[in-house]
Amino acid sequence: MKKIAENLQLVQSRIDSAAASCQRNSSEIRLLAVSKTKPAALVREALTCGQREFAENYLQDALPKIGELADESLVWHYIGQIQSNKTRDIAAHFDWVHSIDRLKIGQRLSAQRGPDQKPLQCCIQINVSGEVQKGGVEPDQLMKLAAALAELPRLQLRGLMVIGSNTKDNDITRSEFERARTLFEAMQTQYPSVDTLSMGMSADLEAAIVCGSTMVRIGTDIFGARQ
């Protein structure tokens, strides 16, 4: 496997060329390094290259890592499915949550966020693929959920998170991402705090950027394949 420094550079240059291809400024697109299943030592290696934002989706795997790296000023994003009994730890240890898909989870996160912590930065996960096993709120329920979350005192609503279908068909990916962009723009007209479209992974970051992504979540192409 190539060194993480080199991988980060390659990913950044893919972001730069995708942005250039659609006349966007690549400084509008934040790179999250998805460190799930990878040890704290690799997170540190990425950190020495200037990468400060990391994403995790297994709590048991994330908490020791976050603890080990507590001496560093990192930004931690939770991107996994959320069960009710996990909200307390998520609210305590993460800066962002991308995967809220029902009100009850938002209410618990808000209630459990410490009074001395910054509000938890939140995205709603949307299901634009129609696959039932996928997490995410259905598009026709989005605005109702957004309105309720926007009222919660310890959350700040920042936008939408989308996971593209696992397909090699670029047309399918594009149409899902375009759908997400339309929904994101509808949210932006109502909520001034909404500025984040979390969309794009190792395999589809170019399509995501062309469709308006402001945050890409890259694991494999930074840290290598997972077991």
Residue length, the chain? 227
How is residue 91 annotated by DSSP? H
Residue 79 near ligand PLP by CB under 6 A: yes
What span, in angstroms and rounded, lies between the C-alpha atoms of 98 and 91?
12
Q: Does residue number 57 form part of the binding site for ligand PLP (CB under 6 A)? A: yes
Instruction: Decide if 222 contacts 15 (C-beta within 8 A).
Output: no
Using CB under 6 A, which residues numbered 84 to 143 contact ligand PLP? none
Stretch that binds ligand PLP, among 16-24, 102-110, 175-183, 200-208 (CB under 6 A): 200-208
Of the candidate residues 4, 11, 33, 34, the single one contacting ligand PLP (CB under 6 A): 34
Per CB under 6 A, 37 contacts ligand PLP: no
Q: Which is nearer to ligand PLP, 41 or 225 (CB)?
A: 225
- Closer by beta carbon to ligand PLP, 37 or else 156: 37
For 141, phi then psi, to 5°, come to -100, -5
186 in contact with ligand PLP (CB under 6 A): no
* Helical residues (DSSP H) of the chain, grouped into ranges: 4-21, 40-48, 59-68, 87-93, 103-112, 142-150, 170-190, 205-210, 220-223
Give me the residue whose beta carbon is nearest to ligand PLP: 219
What token pair was written down for 206?
Answer: 């170019």
In angstroms, the Cα distances linking 42 to 20, 21, 37, 125 are 30, 31, 10, 27
Q: Min. distance of Cβ 221 from ligand PLP in angstroms?
A: 6
Q: Does 220 bind ligand PLP (CB under 6 A)?
A: yes
Determine if 217 is a binding residue for ligand PLP (CB under 6 A). yes
* Site residues, ligand PLP (CB under 6 A): 34, 36, 57, 79, 163, 201-203, 217-221
